[in-house]
């Protein structure tokens, strides 16, 4: 079953920041799709058996804050 997580992330200002987050999350197992919208500050992750806390840790390790 595919799950979806939408996170509000502070600090996504441009395409470069979005791409950095996408690359980091795509490395994780079970991830099928990652999209980041710098205008809204949203990151959408889709896949099977997603671990939201681990995803949040990966994003925060890049210097961004989950709000």
Per residue in 4-34, pLDDT tens? 999 999 999 899 999 999 999 999 999 999 9
Q: State which residues form the domain around 9.
A: 2-66
CATH number for position 25: 3.30.70.100
What is the 3 state secondary structure string of 1-67? Answer: CEEEEEEEEECCCCHHHHHHHHHHHHCCCCEEEEEEECCCCEEEEEEECCCHHHHHHHHHHCCCEEC
What pLDDT band is residue 2 in, cutting at 50, 70 and 90?
confident
Query: What is the domain count for the chain?
Result: 1
Residues near 39 by beta carbon (within 8 Å), at least 6 away in sequence? none
What pLDDT band is residue 35 in, cutting at 50, 70 and 90?
very high
């Amino acid at each position: 079953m595919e799950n979806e997580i939408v996170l509000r992330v502070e600090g996504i200002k441009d395409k470069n920041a979005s791409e950095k987050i996408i690359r980091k999350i795509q490395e994780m197992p079970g991830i099928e799709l990652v999209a980041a919208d710098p205008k809204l500050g949203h990151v959408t992750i889709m896949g099977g058996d997603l671990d939201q806390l681990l995803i949040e840790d990966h994003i925060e390790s890049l210097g961004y804050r989950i709000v």
